[in-house]
Amino acid sequence: MPLYSLDDTIAAISTAVGEGGIGIVRMSGPDAQDILRQLFRPSLGVPRDSSLFQPAPYHLHYGGIADPASGEIADEVLAVYMPAPRTYTRQDVVEINGHGGIVALRRILSLCLGQGARLAEPGEFTARAFLNGRLDLAQAEAVLDIVRARTDRSLEAAVGQLAGRLSAQVRSVRALLVDALAYLEASIDFAEDEIPPLDVGRPLAEAGVELHRLLAEAERGIVYRHGVRTAIVGRPNVGKSSLLNSLLRASRAIVTEFPGTTRDTLEETLNLQGVPVVLVDTAGISPAARDPVEKLGIERSRAALAEADLALWIVDVSEPLNEADRAIAALIGDKPAIVVQNKIDLVDGLPAAPPDLLSARCVALSALTGRGLDRLEEAILDLALGGQVTASAPVVTSSRHKQALHQALGHTEAARDAWLAGTAPDLVAIDLAAAVNALGEITGQSASEDLVESIFGTFCVGK
């Protein structure tokens, strides 16, 4: 995070760019109230002299935002002043609710900047909440997860993290390790004194169990947060776009009886029992393509397949597999895949897996009628979640948190093994301190400036 003072006042547009019913300009810092008083022109009999206007805390005030130099009204607004520390940043905060047009909002922001505020950096409001102790680092990350949530389950997980579900469990484990580390350091520094004995192996074993439990659901949590990028691939005219439409229950992709209708990739997100499944419809892959545009589409299909977490390989069961199908199988390689045997409405009975596909996971369906679609959805979920579908939202949803937990577990187990082997306390303490530090990176207790800067740099300006 850029090294800036927390004593200045920042301002930014906090609502999405575009037309809307309202838009919000937010300020945070010691001069927020004074800037509001300079710009706000109250109505309903309140004097126009801004020096006489004293905004009541936590009340919406109706009026206008005016240019102090000309008196020209920039917009009709509702403004609220929230004094520290009962605010998002634990500083004085002002929010100006104007009309949701970008020109009006930029005009209000420009007037705020003209009175001494500076433009906020990406994520700086939430960064101030973290630096002022209102949120820990895991909770701050949850703010962005809430903004980006694409399903009810991913929103539930993010709200739980904001409420401190993960932080509480991490702090509990970290406390076990800190107590053990304190004992080891005391036994090193005061070797000649009588220190009550402590079986360090017991808290380390307990911490290890908790870390294993948190890591056990990490993969599932990451799937709920980031989703599963799924490429729908196959040769031309096997029903890729029809399958996309059937899964979405909407006519999103153009479908015709002519091969090569899809010339570019098309992305849509499917909510599958709380899992965001990003479906990527691709152009048909054919080695015989000669049209330059079709060739470009095929290259994009190959790229989409390479970037995908999962492949849905569509084959036409009314026709035998050909060289184009086998070429696509080679492209898929070891990537997790489901072979979708489409067009069962054109054949009698459910087809058996061809000899070429005996080792693959096959689902027979008709994208036209929807028959078998439920089995495909179950197969996607099973691959995405590893069969672990539970009613509760996961606690660990971040790759960064997963990595830190892995590091903490590794050092904890190394410290426990060393203790049980009778290793000198100072050597055991090295691994134990590393485990404590790894857990502190999750909550921010031992996070580096570079890490904090990297996290808040992913936020939008105004949040």
Provide the pLDDT confidence category of residue 301 given band limits of 50, 70 and 90.
confident
* 210 and 254 within one domain: no
Tell me the two tokens of residue 406: 């892995």
Tell me the per-residue pLDDT of 313-362, one tens digit each, with 9 for 90 and over: 999 988 888 888 888 888 888 889 999 999 998 887 767 666 666 567 89
Provide the pLDDT confidence category of residue 122 given band limits of 50, 70 and 90.
very high
Number of H helices, E strands in the chain: 15, 13
What separation in angstroms does the CA of 82 have from each of 10, 58, 412, 415, 446? 15, 5, 45, 49, 31
C-beta of residue 280 within 8 angstroms of C-beta of residue 262: no
pLDDT at 256: 47
Does 390 map to a domain?
Answer: no
| Radius of gyration of the chain, Cα coordinates, nearest whole angstrom | 29
* 178 and 67 within one domain: no
Provide the pLDDT confidence category of residue 266 given band limits of 50, 70 and 90.
confident
Does 3 map to a domain?
Answer: no
Report, as an integer, the average pLDDT of 62-91. 94
> What ranges make up the beta strands (E) of 299-444?
310-316, 337-342, 362-364
Higher pLDDT, 388 or 93: 93
Provide the pLDDT confidence category of residue 15 given band limits of 50, 70 and 90.
very high
DSSP result, 9-35: -EEEE-S-SS--SEEEEEEESTTHHHH
In degrees, rounded to 5, the angle at the alpha carbon of residue 269 between the alpha carbons of residues 268 and 273 is 150
* 17 and 160 within one domain: no
Query: What percent of the chain has a predicted confidence (pLDDT) above 90?
Result: 53
Tell me the per-residue pLDDT of 405-449, one tens digit each, with 9 for 90 and over: 999 999 999 999 999 999 998 999 999 999 999 999 999 998 888
397: pLDDT strictly greater than 80: yes
pLDDT at 338: 93
Distance (Å, rounded) from C-alpha 248 to C-alpha 355? Answer: 31
User: Which H or E run includes 66?
Assistant: strand 60-66
Does 453 map to a domain?
Answer: no
Distance (Å, rounded) from C-alpha 399 to C-alpha 412? Answer: 20
What CATH number does residue 200 fall under?
A: 1.20.120.430
Distance (Å, rounded) from C-alpha 244 to C-alpha 240? Answer: 6
* 188 and 111 within one domain: no
pLDDT at 95: 98
In degrees, rounded to 5, the angle at the alpha carbon of residue 101 between the alpha carbons of residues 98 and 106 is 75
* 231 and 347 within one domain: yes
- State the average pLDDT for the chain: 87
pLDDT at 45: 45
pLDDT at 263: 47
Does 455 map to a domain?
Answer: no
Of residues 439, 437, 449, 455, the one with CA closest to residue 142: 455
Per the structure, the count of domains in the chain is: 3
Distance (Å, rounded) from C-alpha 83 to C-alpha 136? Answer: 21
- With tokens 């029809």, the residue in question is 242
* 160 and 96 within one domain: no
pLDDT at 325: 86
* 353 and 326 within one domain: yes
Does 167 map to a domain?
Answer: yes
Q: Which of 200-214, 300-314, 316-330 has the highest mean pLDDT?
A: 200-214
Largest CA distance in the chain: 88
Does 339 map to a domain?
Answer: yes
* 36 and 128 within one domain: yes
C-beta of residue 143 within 8 angstroms of C-beta of residue 161: no
Provide the pLDDT confidence category of residue 102 given band limits of 50, 70 and 90.
very high
Report, as an integer, the average pLDDT of 159-185. 94
44: pLDDT strictly greater than 70: no
Q: What is the DSSP letter of 284?
A: P
For residue 445, with 0-12 CB atoms within 10 Å meaning exposed, 13-18 middle and 19 or more buried, which class applies? middle
* 404 and 352 within one domain: no
What separation in angstroms does the CA of 270 have from each of 144, 279, 360, 367? 21, 7, 24, 16
Tell me the per-residue pLDDT of 137-156, one tens digit each, with 9 for 90 and over: 999 999 999 998 988 889 99
Does 66 map to a domain?
Answer: yes
Q: Print the domain residue range for 78.
A: 10-135
365: pLDDT strictly greater than 70: yes
* 439 and 356 within one domain: no
Q: Which of 110, 135, 160 is the last residue of a domain?
A: 135
Torsion angles phi and psi, residue 6, rounded to 5 = -85, 0
pLDDT at 437: 96
What CATH number does residue 243 fall under?
A: 3.40.50.300
What is the b/e burial string over 400-409, where b = at least 16 CB atoms within 10 angstroms of the residue's CB? ebbebbebbb
pLDDT at 288: 59
- How many other C-beta atoms can be found within 10 angstroms of the C-beta atom of residue 411? 21
Does 451 map to a domain?
Answer: no
SS3 52: helix
